[in-house]
Structure 1
Amino acid sequence: MSDSLGDGCGNPTDVQVSLYKRWAQGGLALSIIGEVQGSPHFAEKPGNLVLNSSADLEGFRALAVAGRADNANLWIQLGHAGAMADGPISSPKGPSALDLPGLKCAELTLDEILAIPAEFARTAVLAKEVGFGGVEIHAAHGFLLNQFLSPLFNKRTDAYGGSLENRMRLLLEVVDAVREAVGPQYPVGIKLNATDQLEGGFQQDEALKVIAALDDKAIDLIDISGGTYFPGAPSSSDRAGTGPYFVEFAQRARTKTKIPLMVTGGFKTFDQAEAAVSEGQADIVGLARALVVDPDLPTKWQEGRDKHPLFPRFSAPPEGGVTAWYTMQITQIASGGAQLRADELRDVIEVYEVRDRKRHAIWKEHFGIR
């Protein structure tokens, strides 16, 4: 998940270190820190981390150590928001120029595209050097690599647009660059959408072809997710009904790859998670909001307790409001605070937005963005 706990300068904070130690102590096998950027120019939020040669590497080392508590593991997610970069702190660019309600971006030049694999690789090398257990390449949720895969966002007519083979070219180049940079033994995963759940977007049959192409690459884990943060788009939970969202797709993916599969999205009970593994749909179950509701859930499930955790119910939440609530509840976990209530949603959203505005100013000052 994107914890949004960076200091506004792209560096880890003490409370962020506490968060990943707390989750590790709760019994999970692996945490993945959402959206760690290689540069400050295409961040998803001002709470993102930026891991490059100018970063506070000692702070990152402390974070890596915390995430290894109690034999857990901590990976970073290699991110680039592209067209979905946060407007107040960036000049969004994607595969193609867009001018849509809520989303406006310029087109990346060919030279800018050719530089992207090396940027991902540099960040991966630093992740390895400071002690993280692995990296996950983010190619889902509407961010840059997913934008290239999607015919809805990618209208290019060069080698990076048009056919699916061309649209997946950048993703495969990033995979190759990262693997070459970190060596053969360091864990490298990829987060991939089963579908964008947008008309005209990246669909399941195309995703299966991408998975088949990845099967020839040195990838250690494919994390299947879906949906997009495109403004106005319904979330996966709005579209997919009850229960885990992507297990049926994972069954189809099994026929295309020997790479271990992780399925993330909609797992709310022990029975759902156990069934996905025992029935061969997933090798690993990804939990997001369930771990925000209860950071001790893995230990409890191992002990046969609390198999049906309670989730908050919100009345007519505004767009992005539920994500804001869960993000601020992550802060509560990290700081040892009390559980937020669902009826506090409006106040929580205000606190969330004020925090981001403050960090927008810090980010722009620190990175010299005007």
Structure 2
Amino acid sequence: MTILNTPLTLPCGAILPNRLLKSAMTEGLADAHDRATEQHNTLYRCWSRGGTGTLVTGNVMVDRRFLERPGNVVIDNNGGLDALRNWAKAGTEAGNHLWMQINHPGRQCQKLVAARPLAPSEVKLKLAGLFGQPRAMTADDIDNTLSRYAHVAGVAKQTGFTGVQIHAAHGYLISQFLSPIANRRSDAWGGNLENRARFLLEAVRRTRDVVGTDFPISVKLNSADFSQGGFSLDESTQVARWLEQTGIDLLEISGGTYEQLALMGDTPAASASQAREAYFLSYAKEIRSATSLPLAVTGGFRSSNTMHAALADNALDVIGLGRPLCTQPNVHELLNGEDVTFTPWEKRLRLGPGWLGPTSSNRQIRALNFGAATQWYYRHIVDLANHRQPDTGDKNLLRIFARHRRAEMAFVKNRAFNV
């Protein structure tokens, strides 16, 4: 048995069948009522059969007024429980785990969905004019939203998902509370780190109260925001200590926000060691030294050699994969110990020449380029969800970007619950 194929027992007692985790990737496959569809079932059945031991869904939103993107599944009081049960059954077909990622976008909610999103403070996201001016959350807004996180977790357990993940990374609502840039509050929810971490820790506590002690709770946390004056590695390490005290079962380390796209490899660490692989590994080692939590790292893993080395070095417990599984969903050869390298397609994708591509000195141009590359991978998620083999031949990002934008606008127009 290879080290990648070794089971892992979590603090709650649940056992992961192997050390591979499909990290959350937004699907955009919901119907006009924001419910799961047969496409979700097809997609996650494919990944389940592919051998990855733990699958984490894309963002499942807690409030239909505020979406990460059009096509998100939303759980509030709109029914759809049978659709969720079908999704859970399909996504656990091979005996793997399927965890629901729970999220709220905060200020990272596009204007075409909500012109005035909720956020910790009225700090606007300045990115290509796509995001509106947020409204600072009141105490009632905070309490209501925290209750929604716990409610969604309860529904996940009720409908057959085997765990949940609370999204506290990538600049979404909880990440905004953690950030001194986005969180300018002067009450109990802002200021020092303890106050800024209060929302996350309370979300975990309320979730645990609902799902019980034997149900896995994971948290996805930024190692850092990679913004001057933002959430730092030292702060992330302290938050990890507090999360261990709350009794979570797995901490997934990532990094960055929409404004600082470390989550897509746009970080100095990505150009350093290991041929741009595992670009959060050095940050995770710092967190590893401060906590005994089971740790997953997502971001840049492409070769079996790097994965085995990271596990053998005890730098982490679980390898997070995202984009590779969009084009190569079968990991059985990897688990069996064969020498596998996933094609790093993102290195071959760009909007145009260097001044317009991922190396541009203009942050917004780089963000658009990375965004278009992400939409290239979205297309392959849709391929898998429709029983098609991913076609990696079309690399025209401008065409893909335009097609993606038209589809999102059409979804919003036809959505049954425009608010």
TM range (shorter): over 0.9
TM-score by structure 1 length?
0.95
Q: Secondary structure at the match of 2:246?
A: coil
Query: How far, CA to CA, are the matches of 2:312 and 2:229 in structure 1?
Result: 34
2:266 aligned residue: 238
Further displaced range: 337-346 or 200-209? 337-346
Q: Does residue 360 in structure 1 map to residue 412 in structure 2? A: yes
Query: How far, CA to CA, are the matches of 1:111 and 1:95 in structure 2?
Result: 12
**CA displacement 1:163-220 (0-9 Å, x = unmatched):** 0011001111111000001111111110000011112211101100100111111201
Decide whether the 8 Å contact of 1:116 with 1:174 is kept in 2: no
Q: Which residue identity does 1:66 align to in structure 2? A: A
Runs of 4+ in 1 over 6 A off after TM superposition: none
**CA displacement 1:315-356 (0-9 Å, x = unmatched):** 335431011101111111221224132523232222211211
Query: How far, CA to CA, are the matches of 1:65 and 1:6 in structure 2?
Result: 17
Query: Which of 253, 264, 268 is the equivalent residue of 2:287?
Result: 253
Query: Which of 151, 162, 170 is the equivalent residue of 2:199?
Result: 170
Q: Which residue identity does 1:15 align to in structure 2? A: Q
Closer, same or farther in 2 for the Cα pair 1:100/1:326, shift >3 Å?
closer
Query: Which of 226, 229, 237 is the equivalent residue of 1:197?
Result: 226
**CA displacement 1:212-249 (0-9 Å, x = unmatched):** 1111112011011111123x756541212211011112
CA positional deviation for 1:262:
0.6
Query: Which of 33, 57, 81 is the equivalent residue of 2:57?
Result: 33
Q: Secondary structure at the match of 1:76?
A: strand
Q: CA RMSD in A?
A: 1.6
Further displaced range: 340-349 or 71-80? 340-349
Closer, same or farther in 2 for the Cα pair 1:113/1:71, shift >3 Å?
same
TM-score by structure 2 length?
0.84
Further displaced range: 311-320 or 149-158? 311-320
CA positional deviation for 1:306:
5.5
Query: How far, CA to CA, are the matches of 2:394 and 2:54 in structure 1?
Result: 28
1:223 aligned residue: 252
Query: Which of 122, 134, 149 is the equivalent residue of 2:178?
Result: 149
Q: Does residue 262 in structure 1 map to residue 293 in structure 2? A: no
**CA displacement 1:277-324 (0-9 Å, x = unmatched):** 11101111100011112001x212023446112232113354310111
**CA displacement 1:5-29 (0-9 Å, x = unmatched):** 1124211111121000000111100
Q: Which residue identity does 1:311 align to in structure 2? A: P
Q: Which residue identity does 2:42 align to in structure 1? A: S
Q: Does residue 294 in structure 1 map to residue 346 in structure 2? A: no
2:75 aligned residue: 51
Q: Does residue 187 in structure 1 map to residue 221 in structure 2? A: no
2:373 aligned residue: 322
CA positional deviation for 1:4:
1.6
Decide whether the 8 Å contact of 1:8 with 1:46 is kept in 2: no
**CA displacement 1:238-272 (0-9 Å, x = unmatched):** 21221101111221112222210011111011111
Q: Which residue identity does 1:349 align to in structure 2? A: F
Q: Which residue identity does 1:275 align to in structure 2? A: A
- Give runs of aligned pairs for residues 267-346 of structure 1, distance below 5 A: 267-296=301-330, 298-305=331-338, 307-312=340-345, 313-315=348-350, 316=352, 318-319=368-369, 320-338=371-389, 339-346=391-398
Decide whether the 8 Å contact of 1:293 with 1:311 is kept in 2: no
Q: Which residue identity does 1:327 align to in structure 2? A: Y
Q: Secondary structure at the match of 1:156?
A: coil
Q: Secondary structure at the match of 1:75?
A: strand
CA positional deviation for 1:367:
1.7
Query: How far, CA to CA, are the matches of 2:325 and 2:125 in structure 1?
Result: 35
Q: Which residue identity does 1:348 align to in structure 2? A: I
- Give runs of aligned pairs for residues 6-155 of structure 1, distance below 5 A: 6-90=30-114, 91-99=116-124, 101-102=126-127, 103=131, 104-155=133-184
Query: How far, CA to CA, are the matches of 2:40 and 2:339 in structure 1?
Result: 26
CA positional deviation for 1:38:
1.6
Closer, same or farther in 2 for the Cα pair 1:155/1:287, shift >3 Å?
same
- Unaligned runs of at least 5 residues, structure 1: none
Query: How far, CA to CA, are the matches of 1:325 and 1:182 in structure 2?
Result: 36
Query: How far, CA to CA, are the matches of 1:53 and 1:92 in structure 2?
Result: 20
Further displaced range: 66-75 or 1-10? 1-10
Q: Which residue identity does 2:380 align to in structure 1? A: Q
Decide whether the 8 Å contact of 1:198 with 1:233 is kept in 2: no
Query: How far, CA to CA, are the matches of 2:142 and 2:169 in structure 1?
Result: 18
Further displaced range: 340-349 or 257-266? 340-349
Aligned length: 365
Query: How far, CA to CA, are the matches of 2:125 and 2:42 in structure 1?
Result: 40
Query: How far, CA to CA, are the matches of 1:311 and 1:99 in structure 2?
Result: 33
Query: How far, CA to CA, are the matches of 2:55 and 2:262 in structure 1?
Result: 26
Q: Secondary structure at the match of 1:309?
A: coil
Q: Which residue identity does 2:308 align to in structure 1? A: E
CA positional deviation for 1:275:
1.2
Query: How far, CA to CA, are the matches of 1:303 and 1:5 in structure 2?
Result: 32
1:348 aligned residue: 400
